[in-house]
Amino acid sequence: MSLKEKLGNLFKGSKEEIEISKFRDEYFEILLESDVSLETVEYILGKFENKHLKQKRIMRSEAIESLKEILLEILERAKPETDILGTGKKPLIIMFLGINGTGKTTTIARLSYFLKNNGKTVVVAASDTFRAGAIEQIKYHGDELGIRVIAQTMGSDPSAIAFDAIEHARARNLDFVLIDTAGRMQTNKNLMDEMRKIKRVSKPDMTFLTVDAMAASDAIEQAATFLKDIKFDGIVVNKLDTDARGGAIFSIAHMFKEPIYFLGIGQKMGDLMLYDPQFIINKIFGEAQ
Ligand SMILES: Nc1nc2c(ncn2[C@@H]2O[C@H](COP(=O)(O)OP(=O)(O)OP(=O)(O)O)[C@@H](O)[C@H]2O)c(=O)[nH]1
Ligand SMILES: [Mg+2]
């Protein structure tokens, strides 16, 4: 059952008044079962208790409204301050990193599409030269979208490709350079060394981490540890559509200090949207009300 369904159930009999402590227990279970990390659940419940310190009992409808506010506030704090469409920097160089399968390449294709629809010009660097098929995958998207992909052969130096793409953008006065990278190499150390080198050579203006919304919170922690000494500026949360439980986004928003820029919400090219806390809240609470 999803967070939405569980809250829907809880909402039944909204006029009923129950003890605050009972709510605390109910919420604790619901949130944890929905993939919200323990640390985040405790934060949410702490806020909830603080808001209702003087109350012993609370009406279900009021309690659910209160929870909604706390959840929205967590998501609001993860909103970015920078509008990538309006930085004025040309080209704006964005490097993508993330564990394999979290949607780096897909995000680059969709972001290219999004940027193109917003009148921006884009070049992509196919700097995942490790995984078989990676270059073809990004080239395929480039062809579909009419966007230039700078690529070499498998095994070539990813930094050199990123560098070429930046040169290409400068020579043609393009708006964006998007750098795809590998999600896996022989060892994690190789991967990290490579990410550092690409960063050093391409000096990206922004580095985005892609994460999978379906991943339980331990996978999020794993990503944080795995990338602990590679700085990134923002997060793209993909596969929100496949997250049956629906709570991981709150952990991501709460546990990472970097803002969330985009959400991947489906399989189609247009299924990348600017991060929108209200959209997530509406998805969860929409029918519960
Ligand atoms: N349903 C759904 N699928 C997605 C979404 N984003 C990405 N995917 C799928 O997830 C799979 C992996 O995406 P990729 O873009 O190849 O991931 P990657 O991070 O580039 O992976 P590596 O190149 O192996 O490191 C693909 O099958 C995508 O179609 C999303 O928002 N929703
Ligand atoms: Mg990829």
Can you tell me which atom of ligand 1 is nearest the CA of 238? 31
Question: In which residue ranges of the chain is CATH 1.20.120 found?
Answer: 3-77
H-helix or E-strand containing 196? helix 188-202
Total residue count of the chain as it appears in this document = 289
Q: Return phi, psi of residue 93, to 5°.
A: -100, 120
- Among 96, 105, 106, name the best residue to mutate to test ligand 1's pocket (greatest count of ligand atoms within 8 A of Cβ): 106
* pLDDT value for 187: 85
Structure tokens at 50: 């603080």
* Residue of minimum CA distance from atom 14 in ligand 1: 103
Question: In which residue ranges of the chain is CATH 3.40.50.300 found?
Answer: 84-276
- Is 68 a pocket residue for ligand 1 (Cβ < 6 Å)? no
Pairing state of beta strands 260-264 and 234-238?
Answer: parallel
Average pLDDT, the chain: 91
H-helix or E-strand containing 269? none
- Is 181 a pocket residue for ligand 1 (Cβ < 6 Å)? no
- Is 121 a pocket residue for ligand 1 (Cβ < 6 Å)? no
Q: Which CATH class is domain 84-276?
A: alpha beta
Ligand having the closest approach to the CA of 270? 1
3-77 — its CATH code? 1.20.120
Can you tell me which atom of ligand 1 is nearest the CA of 271? 31
Provide the β-strand partners of residue 178.
Answer: 94, 124
- Rounded to 5 degrees, what angle do the CA atoms 60, 3, 270 make? 130
* Residue of minimum CA distance from atom 13 in ligand 1: 103
> Sorting pLDDT into bands at 50, 70 and 90, what band is 243?
confident
The arithmetic mean of pLDDT across residues 119-129, rounded, is: 98
Q: What distance lies between CA 280 and its chain's CA centroid?
A: 13
pTM score: 0.94
- Is 131 a pocket residue for ligand 1 (Cβ < 6 Å)? yes
Q: What is the pLDDT of residues 1-53, one digit of tens each?
A: 788 888 777 766 577 888 988 888 988 999 998 889 899 999 999 999 999 98
**What spacing in Å lies between the alpha carbon of 185 and ligand 1's midpoint?**
17
Ligand having the closest approach to the CA of 111? 1
Can you tell me which atom of ligand 1 is nearest the CA of 100? 25
Strands (E) located in 2-157 = 17-19, 57-59, 92-97, 122-127, 148-150
